[in-house]
């Protein structure tokens, strides 16, 4: 089984447990996300989808599948760049509380990493004091330069 097949199997199991359905189309879009090293725009994914699966596919096809995958926590939308990427933790399946995305502005790479528990509770306390409710994951997107590019 390839790395992608293993992750897809995990993703399907996750959906079953949530009572959600991984349709063939959703699976295909997930497959495209997993095949990419970095984040992709919906239009890049649409082009790949057309090349690989269905030459007359329309944008709503991709958007609906992406919405589903994001809802299930299997993919993430980066709001600062309006791009999508596969969750990096599908097989280990920890939650997304305090997830931070580190976006390298030089190579375009993205790292998904959890904030330390203490930092999350401090942030939550601060927001609580302000009466501010977090509605959307990921929690934070940080732009900068990754360790590779900084060399």
Residues 91-150 that bind Zn ion (CB under 5 A): 104, 106-107, 109, 146, 149
Angle at 96 (CA atoms; ends 95, 102), nearest 5 degrees: 140
* Nearer Cβ to Zn ion (38/59): 38
CB of 9 to Zn ion, least distance (A): 17
Nearer to Zn ion, 55 or 94 (CB): 94
Q: How far is the CB of 17 from Zn ion (least distance, A)?
A: 16
Residue owning tokens 């293993």: 6
* 3-state helix/strand/coil string of 100-132: EEEEECCCCCEEEEECCHHHHHHHHHHHHHCCC
Rounded-to-integer distance, Cα 10 and Cα 126, Å: 35
Stretch of residues binding Zn ion (CB under 5 A), selected from 7-15, 35-43, 50-58, 85-93: 85-93
- Cβ closer to Zn ion: 108 or 123? 108
Query: What does DSSP assign to residue 83?
Result: E
User: Distances in Å between the alpha carbon of 58 and those of 45, 49, 61, 79?
Assistant: 11, 10, 6, 22
Q: How far is the CB of 102 from Zn ion (least distance, A)?
A: 9
Q: Is 5 in the site for Zn ion (CB under 5 A)?
A: no
Closer to Zn ion by CB, 20 or 109: give it: 109
Q: Which chain residues interact with Zn ion by CB under 5 A?
A: 87, 89, 104, 106-107, 109, 146, 149
């Amino acid at each position: 089984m390839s790395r992608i097949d293993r992750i897809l199997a995990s993703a399907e199991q996750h959906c079953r447990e949530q009572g959600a359905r991984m349709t063939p189309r959703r699976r295909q879009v997930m497959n495209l996300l997993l095949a990419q090293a970095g984040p992709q725009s919906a239009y890049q994914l649409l082009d790949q989808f057309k090349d690989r699966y269905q030459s007359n596919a329309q944008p709503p096809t991709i958007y609906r599948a992406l919405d589903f995958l994001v809802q299930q926590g299997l993919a993430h939308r980066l709001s600062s760049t309006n791009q999508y990427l596969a969750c990096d933790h599908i097989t280990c399946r920890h939650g997304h509380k305090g997830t931070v995305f580190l976006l390298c502005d030089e190579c375009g790479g993205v790292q998904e990493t959890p904030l330390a528990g203490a930092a999350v509770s401090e942030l939550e306390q601060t927001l609580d004091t302000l009466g501010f409710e977090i509605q959307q994951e990921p929690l934070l997107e940080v732009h900068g330069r990754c360790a590779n590019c900084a060399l």
